[in-house]
Each structure stands twice: as structure tokens, then as C-alpha cells.
Structure 1
Amino acid sequence: MGDIRRRGVVALGVTALVAPLTLALGTTQAHAVSCTTTAGPYQKQVEKFLGRPVDGKQSSADCKAIQAFQNKHGIRPNIGYAGPVTWGVMDLMLKQKAVGTNPNKAGKCPVNKGRIACVDLTLQLSWIQDGSRLVYGPVPVRTGRDGYETRTGLKKIYWRNIDHVSTIYDVPMPYSQFFDGGQAFHQASLSMWNPPGSHGCVNMTTTDAKKYWSLLKKGDDVYVYGRKPGT
């Protein structure tokens, strides 16, 4: 049963890192990509987000600023075009920031379970609470893409492996805490806003994955709700 479970972990969780890492670390390091001179449909919104002059016109400086943002978060194509994917990432960042320190304001994550890790797929945020008291977070996370959605509902952490490595892809998944089949919290070495998402796991920064490891234990509850944009 243990071997079967580990194969399931690899199939749904580990592969989350394979393609995104290629996207995040590949093309732009090899050579520079030319900027577009065309203004995108979200030009003004993107200019405002980046602190650029808001005129809706694509300048060379605008393009370079947009392209730098795209390269930082692994957005493709990375040609400085203010399109729906780039604006979608920025809009999500603004919505995440607006949550502040009250992520469970709507009361969607249970407050009668004691310590619980909450995952809001709609806002791509996670936090740990104890009753109604916020223990840690909220922090940005990267959940399952279309076709590989992180499953919703109430779950429990059933297996933890601080140094987990895929035996199929030889991909590290540090601080893995599995809560539903092959789906787990774990550290990922890429932007939490890198589209389109994981293959089901809840990716976290190193800092946040370490903190979750120290605060959670086997048997703790996990509640996943909402719907990731684009799924």
C-alpha cells in the first residue's frame, strides 16, 4: 500500500514542478526576447500597477517594465504585451493584498476544528488558524491548473516527508505534507504567480513551506474551497 501511495504522490504532486520550472528558468536566461510595440488591451491597468505613466500607449520603457514583470513570474509570451494573462496575475496580486490580515472574513474556513490549514483557491491564498484566531498567513500559493485542480473539501494531513523526492522524475519536493491522494503542501522554486499552476499540489515559497512544516502535524485538518481562476 505504501508503494502505491507513493506512486500516486508522484503522479499528482511531483509533476507540478517539471513544466513550470522549464518555463520559469529556460528561455529568458538563454537570450533576450524582443519587446512589442503594440499596446495591449489592459495597457492602462498594467501601467498603473507598475507605476508607469497611465496613457494607454506602449512606450519602450513601458514594454521593458512589463517584460521584467513577465520574466519574474514566468509569464509567456514575455514580450512586454499587456494582455489578459499578465493583467490577470496583477489583478490577483491586488485582490490578495486587499485581504489584509483577515482572510476568513466570510467565515468559509471552519472555525470549530481547532488548528486547521485553509486554502482559498479563488484568491490563491492559504493560512493557518486556530478557531477564529489567525496563526500564520495569509500567504500566496500556487494550486492546480485546469484539468489538475486541487480538490476541494475537508481533509487531513496523512503523511509528511521533509526531503521528499520523486523517484520517477527525480524532482525535489521539500517540506511535503500530503492531505489528499498525491496532493500536498510543499516548497516550489518558482514564482507563486507562475501560470497556469501546479498539477494539484499547493506550492509554497521556502519560507512559508518551512513555517507550515513547523506548525502542522499529521492528523491536522486542511480545508480547500473556492475555484482557481482559469479552471
Structure 2
Amino acid sequence: MTHRQRAGRPAAGLTLALTLALTGLAGVTGPQALAAAPPAAAADPCTARTGPYQRELEAHLGRKVDGVQSPGDCAAVREFQKANGLTPADGYPDIATYRTMLVVQARPNPNKAGKCPVRNHRVTCIDMDRQLLWVQRGSKVVFAPVPIRSGRDDQETRPGWHEIYWRNKDHVSTLYGTPMPYAQFFDGGQAVHGAYGDLFAYGGSAGCVNMYPSDAARLWDLLTEGDAVYVWGTKPGTDG
């Protein structure tokens, strides 16, 4: 399966004036120009097959929930991917699209269930059930939810209260030799940090909390040593 990443929004289409110029109709105005302009190209057909998160995306997008991809389902998923900067935007309901859906659903109130303790100081909330991270001060969200990858089976991220005790912007793992950009360590070698490549691969991390590098950079600018971190839940696919 093609690796999916977040990307910027596509550039806007040609304006009518530019279209007329390119087609040699720049001197024609009024209804004549509109009549002479070439018709807009039809959208490419959406042909992605049924995906592993078909039902979840169907429910979220208000489609008939039958677990079977239809052309309408495919087009709706593709529009969702485009709106949220996922590439390729091909309509296939894979794990990256599903995890983005969870972020979208959480944005209005990520702590609606009250599982992250509310304190007067900053708390970085790590929800392993939904694989989300956000930061709140009191009941105010100061860093909106983003997708993460926590520890895989037998290398689970440790739950409970922690605090950031060391930070290294350009850290490289001493165990695996892999880059850990914007690493913020919170418990016994486990850190929140950026991860290159497919954020949702390998069944989880080796215990750290992985993020898109761009999200990790923004979090780096917000937090500091001594900040509180609270981890709870169970990563899907692990024993907890």
C-alpha cells in the first residue's frame, strides 16, 4: 500500500481570465466569452478498493455503513483526505486516514471523557486508546490533538504521571541509531519525539511516543523541562 503523508493544500485552479488567455479568447467578453470557454474537466473516477477502516470512515462521513467500498464512498473518503492534507488522496480508507479521522473527531473537545487530569499547569495528555496527544492548561487546550504512535506489544509506553526531565532537539537513539528529532524525555528513556517515514508502521514504537516531525517541532516550542505528562489507555493491538 502506498505510504500516505500529510501535505499542503493543492494550488487553486486557473482563473477564467487565464483560461481565456491560454485558449486565445482574451479579447472576447461577456456571454460570448463564457459560451466559448472550454467546459471544466470531469473529476477523475475514484476506484480505490474496500479498506481496513471502511466502516469507520463510512460512519464518520455519513455514508451507508456496509463495509463495502462504493464509488460514492471512495469519492467521500478522497475529499476527506484532500481536506486534511493527506497524500495520496486516493479514497482508500487506510490506517492513516482513520487516525486522521480520530483527530478530527477529537478537536472540539479531546478531553470530553475526562481521562486526562485537569490541573492549573500544563499537562501533556497521551491517550493510547485513540493514539492521540494534546496539551491542556486547566480545561483549555493549548496544543490541539495530533496523531501519535506509542509502544508496541512488550515495549509499551508506560502509563501514569511523568515529567519532562531532558530535551535534545537533534537526538539520535543510542540503542537503535535512528534519529529522534525534538526528543523530550519523560520516563526512563521514553520520549516524545518526531519520527520519519510511516508513522503508523511496525505495530508501534519501541516505547517512545512518535509524532510527525512537524508536530514534534511545534510541541518542542511549547514545552520545557519539568512539564507534566500523563499517559493512559492501551494501544490497539497490544495487551496493555
Q: TM-score of the superposition, structure 2-length normalised?
A: 0.61
The answer as to 2:179 corresponding to 1:172 is yes
Question: Residues 170 and 182 of structure 2 are in contact (CA less than 8 Å); yes or no, is this contact kept in structure 1?
Answer: yes
Residue 110 of structure 1: SS of its match in structure 2? coil
Q: Which amino acid aligns with 1:214?
A: D
Question: Residues 43 and 56 of structure 1 are in contact (CA less than 8 Å); yes or no, is this contact kept in structure 2?
Answer: no
Question: Residues 57 and 101 of structure 2 are in contact (CA less than 8 Å); yes or no, is this contact kept in structure 1?
Answer: no
1:168/1:94 CA distance change after superposition, 3 Å: closer
Question: Residues 113 and 221 of structure 1 are in contact (CA less than 8 Å); yes or no, is this contact kept in structure 2?
Answer: no
Aligned-pair CA distance for 1:90: 4.7
The separation in 2 between residues aligned to 1:116 and 1:41, in whole angstroms, is 36
Aligned-pair CA distance for 1:122: 0.6
Q: Which residue of 2 aligns with 1:138?
A: 145
Question: Residues 101 and 137 of structure 1 are in contact (CA less than 8 Å); yes or no, is this contact kept in structure 2?
Answer: no
The separation in 2 between residues aligned to 1:44 and 1:210, in whole angstroms, is 32
Residue 154 of structure 2: SS of its match in structure 1? coil
1:92/1:44 CA distance change after superposition, 3 Å: closer
Structure 1 or 2: larger helix share?
1
- Please identify, of 187-196 and 131-140, the stretch whose mean Cα deviation from structure 2 is larger: 187-196
Aligned-pair CA distance for 1:42: 5.6
Q: Which residue of 1 aligns with 2:68?
A: 56
Q: Which residue of 2 aligns with 1:205?
A: 212
1:161/1:226 CA distance change after superposition, 3 Å: same
Question: Residues 153 and 225 of structure 1 are in contact (CA less than 8 Å); yes or no, is this contact kept in structure 2?
Answer: yes
Of the candidates 128, 137, 145, which is equivalent to residue 135 of structure 2?
A: 128
Of the candidates 35, 55, 58, which is equivalent to residue 45 of structure 1?
A: 55
Q: Larger Rg: 1 or 2?
A: 2
Q: Which amino acid aligns with 1:220?
A: D
Q: TM-score of the superposition, structure 1-length normalised?
A: 0.63
Aligned-pair CA distance for 1:172: 1.2
Question: Residues 53 and 98 of structure 2 are in contact (CA less than 8 Å); yes or no, is this contact kept in structure 1?
Answer: no
1:166/1:132 CA distance change after superposition, 3 Å: same
Q: Which amino acid aligns with 2:126?
A: V
Q: Which residue of 2 aligns with 1:152?
A: 159
Q: Which amino acid aligns with 1:211?
A: R
Q: CA RMSD in A?
A: 3.7
Q: Which residue of 2 aligns with 1:95?
A: 102
Aligned-pair CA distance for 1:109: 1.0
Question: Residues 192 and 203 of structure 1 are in contact (CA less than 8 Å); yes or no, is this contact kept in structure 2?
Answer: yes
Q: Which amino acid aligns with 2:154?
A: G
The separation in 2 between residues aligned to 1:191 and 1:156, in whole angstroms, is 27
Number of residue pairs matched?
178
Residue 149 of structure 1: SS of its match in structure 2? coil
Q: Which residue of 2 aligns with 1:112?
A: 119
Gaps of 5+ in 1: 1-22, 26-38, 74-81
Aligned-pair CA distance for 1:55: 9.0
Q: Which has the higher contact order (CA 8 A, sep 6+)?
A: 1
Question: Residues 101 and 138 of structure 1 are in contact (CA less than 8 Å); yes or no, is this contact kept in structure 2?
Answer: no
Question: Residues 125 and 140 of structure 1 are in contact (CA less than 8 Å); yes or no, is this contact kept in structure 2?
Answer: yes
Identical counterparts, % of pairs = 45
Gaps of 5+ in 2: 5-48
Q: Which amino acid aligns with 2:68?
A: G
Question: Residues 45 and 87 of structure 1 are in contact (CA less than 8 Å); yes or no, is this contact kept in structure 2?
Answer: no
1:166/1:94 CA distance change after superposition, 3 Å: closer
Q: Deviations over 1:57-89 (max 9, x none)?
A: 799xx8xx99xx9xx99xxxxxxxx9xxx7666
Residue 104 of structure 1: SS of its match in structure 2? coil
